[in-house]
Chains A and B, each alone.
Chain A
Amino acid sequence: MKRFSVLASLVAAVGIAAVSMGFGEKPAAPAAAPAPKVKKSYTIGVIAKSQSNPFFAPSHTGALDAASELGKKLGTTIKIEWRTPVSEDAQKQAEAIEQLVASGADGIALAASDAKILKSAVDSAAAKGVPIVTFDSDVPDSKRLAYVGVDNFSFGQSIARELGKSMGGKGTIAILAGNQTATNLQARVSGVRDVISKEFKDMKVKEAYYHPENPQDSVKTVEQVQAANPDITGWAMVGGWPLMTANALDKVKGKAKVVAADALQAQIEYVKKGEVEVLLAQPVYDYGHTAVTLLMDKIVSNKSPKDPIVKAELVPVTGKNADEYAKNWTKWLGK
Chain B
Amino acid sequence: MNQAAPQSAPPPAPSSAAGPKAPVTRPLWIRVVSAQETGLVAVILALVVGLYFATPQIEQVDRTTYQAAGTVVADLPDGFTVTTPAATGGSPKVLTFKEADGYEYRAIENGAIVMRKFQANKFLNAANLLSVLTAASFIAIMAVGMTGIIVSGGIDLSVGSIYAFAAVVGAFALKAVVGTSGAPVEGASLMLGILVTVAVCSAVGAACGFVNGFASVGLGVHPFIITLGGMAVYRGIAFVTTGGQTIGPFPENYIKAFGKFEIFGITPVPMLLMFAVAAIGWFILSKTVFGRRVYAIGGNEVAAKYAGVPVGRAKVQLFVICGMLAGLSAAAYLGYYGAGSSDAGQGYELNVIAAAVVGGASLSGGRGSALGAVLGAIVIQLIDNSILMLSIDQNYKNIVIGLAIVLAVVVDQTKHRLFSGARR
Contacts and interface: CB of A to CB of B under 8 A. Distances in A.
Interface of A: 1-2, 4-5, 51, 82-84, 86-91, 94-95, 98-99, 101-104, 114-117, 119-121, 123-124, 126-129, 141, 143, 179-182, 299, 302
A119 B339 contact: yes
Nearest to B333: A91
A179 B80 CA distance: 53
Contact of B244 (A51, A95, A128, A179): A179
B415 interface: no
Nearest to B339: A116
A2 B122 contact: no
Interface stretch (B55-63, B225-233, B352-360): B55-63
A127 B111 CA distance: 10
Of B108, B117, B333, B344, most A-chain CB atoms within 10 Å: B108
Contacts of B247: 116
Contacts of B213: none
Given A5-B75, A90-B341, A128-B63, A102 B127 contact: yes
Contact of B338 (A88, A120, A129): A120
24 contacts: A1-B72, A1-B112, A4-B80, A5-B75, A82-B394, A83-B388, A84-B394, A90-B337, A91-B337, A95-B135, A99-B131, A102-B127, A102-B128, A104-B61, A114-B339, A116-B339, A117-B338, A117-B341, A119-B249, A120-B249, A120-B255, A120-B339, A127-B67, A128-B63
B71 interface: yes
A95 B128 CA distance: 11
B16 interface: no
Contacts of A124: 260
Given A4-B72, A91-B337, A95-B131, A116 B244 contact: no
Contacts of B388: 83, 99
A4 B252 contact: no
B15 interface: no
A129 B106 contact: yes
The 5 closest A-B pairs by CB, nearest first: A181-B244, A102-B127, A4-B75, A129-B106, A116-B339
B339 A2 contact: no
Nearest to B68: A127
Given A84-B394, A180-B244, A123 B252 contact: yes
B32 interface: no
B246 A104 contact: no
Nearest to A95: B135
A117 B71 contact: no
A240 to B, nearest CB: 21
Nearest to B171: A116
B149 to A, nearest CB: 24
A91 B109 contact: no
Contact of B113 (A84, A129, A299): A129
A102 B108 CA distance: 17
A51 B397 CA distance: 11
Contacts of A129: 63, 106-108, 113, 115
A114 B68 CA distance: 28
Contacts of B112: 1
B280 interface: no
B182 interface: yes
B182 A126 contact: no
Contact of A116 (B109, B131, B135, B248): B248
A101 to B, nearest CB: 7
Contact of B346 (A89, A101, A116, A181): A89
A179 B126 CA distance: 41
A90 B343 contact: yes
Contacts of B395: 51, 86
B245 A117 contact: no
A84 B397 CA distance: 12
Nearest to B80: A4
B108 A116 contact: no
Interface in B38-75: 58-61, 63, 67-68, 71-75
Interface in B87-142: 105-113, 115, 117, 122, 127-128, 130-131, 134-135, 138
A103 B333 CA distance: 23
A99 B345 CA distance: 20
A129 B397 CA distance: 30
B398 interface: yes
A136 B263 CA distance: 36
A91 B139 CA distance: 12
B243 A181 contact: yes
A136 to B, nearest CB: 17
B35 to A, nearest CB: 31
B71 A2 contact: yes
Given A104-B59, A117-B249, 10 more contacts: A99-B131, A101-B63, A104-B58, A116-B246, A120-B338, A120-B339, A124-B260, A128-B108, A128-B113, A299-B106
B112 to A, nearest CB: 6
Contacts of B248: 116-117, 119
Contacts of B245: 181
Contacts of A179: 244
Given A104-B58, A180-B244, A86 B398 contact: yes
Interface in B129-171: 130-131, 134-135, 138
A99 B346 contact: no
Contacts of A127: 67-68, 108-109
A179 to B, nearest CB: 7
A128 B128 contact: no
A117 B339 contact: yes
A116 B341 contact: yes
A94 B59 contact: no
A86 B74 CA distance: 46
Nearest to B138: A91
A180 B239 CA distance: 12
B245 to A, nearest CB: 6
